[in-house]
Chain A
Amino acid sequence: MAVLNKKKSGVSDEIPTSSMADIAFLLLIFFLVTTVFPKDKGLAIVLPEESEQVQVSQKNILHLIVQPNGMVEVKRGESQQIQTLRAQEIEGVWRQEVAANTNLIAAVKTHPDAPYRFMIAVLDALHSANAERISLQILEN
């Protein structure tokens, strides 16, 4: 009969479970390492102290006026000439301007109704261009 012919196999018929914990730990460590919390990143800025008022000559200011539609009006110091640009183009403008005048200060004036993200886009461009002297203001009429 078939029963008599069957050889006893040396291989265990159980699924090996001894390495299961190792696999679980590997997964755990993988997820620990790959998890990123977004809130730890951002654009740093130093706020002025209260009552700190510095007089800056107009020729050292680059006015960046952020409009509610996300366009940026660039006005150089004393001149009344206005150039309308997209936020991404500010990086190049800043590099050009700061090469001509190292004392330049970026005055970011945002329209009260403009969404926050447009101001961040301009600030991002300035940070990308390694600008350090930045002043954040609200646009007053």
Chain B
Amino acid sequence: MAGRKGFQKRSKASEEIPSSSLADIAFLLLIFFMVTTVFPSDRARPIDWPEAAAAQKVDEKKKNILNVWIEEDGKIYINDQNYSMDEVSQVVAPLYAASDRALVISIAGDRDTPYILMDQLQKELVAAGVVRVVFAALLEQQMQRARR
């Protein structure tokens, strides 16, 4: 044993695992996943949100939430597609059935939409058999409310 040790050459290579490129690899992975991830196409419409102090987080998984956007002039968007008012129930009903009746409809309405359109939309959702609905709103701070 002692004799063999004498013959052993001292290696010039470092004993440590090179860690300087670790961050580069992590970033490459990050960018790879960012580029390959496909989100379900539902881009936010440019609406003015209503505000509510009692707004609560929707207690449902993200995939079970369907946003129905309604703009001030009554344009309705579901999953980036424009629909007319009487098409809504036909669009929502199959999605609702596919989700095993767990779907929550989030109505994202512009704050200045005339209520008659909101009422028609609610009637369409009732016709589609939807039960759970959320009126999407920004959380209003109590301070803000006191100032008004």
Instruction: Give chain A's interface residues, CB within 8 Å of chain B.
Output: 18, 20-22, 24-25, 38-50, 66, 88, 110-121, 123-124, 127-128, 136-138
Contacts and interface: CB of A to CB of B under 8 A. Distances in A.
B135 interface: yes
A127 B139 CA distance: 13
A113 B116 contact: yes
B115 A45 contact: no
A136 to B, nearest CB: 7
Nearest to A44: B134
B133 A45 contact: yes
Contacts, number: 137
8 closest pairs, A vs B, by CB? A21-B23, A127-B54, A112-B116, A117-B111, A124-B52, A42-B134, A42-B136, A138-B119
B44 interface: yes
Interface stretch (B2-10, B55-63, B78-86): B55-63
The SS class assigned to the B binding surface is mixed
Contacts of B24: 21
B28 to A, nearest CB: 12
Nearest to A36: B139
A70 to B, nearest CB: 12
A115 B55 contact: no
B144 to A, nearest CB: 12
A120 B111 contact: yes
Given A39-B67, A49-B129, A116-B118, A44 B58 contact: yes
Given A38-B49, A50-B126, A88 B145 contact: yes
A40 B137 contact: no
7 contacts: A25-B26, A39-B136, A41-B55, A43-B52, A44-B134, A112-B115, A119-B115
B115 A40 contact: no
Interface string B106-148: 1111111111101100100111011111111111100001000
Most buried by B among A22, A43, A118, A128: A43
Given A38-B49, A42-B56, A112-B119, A47 B114 contact: no
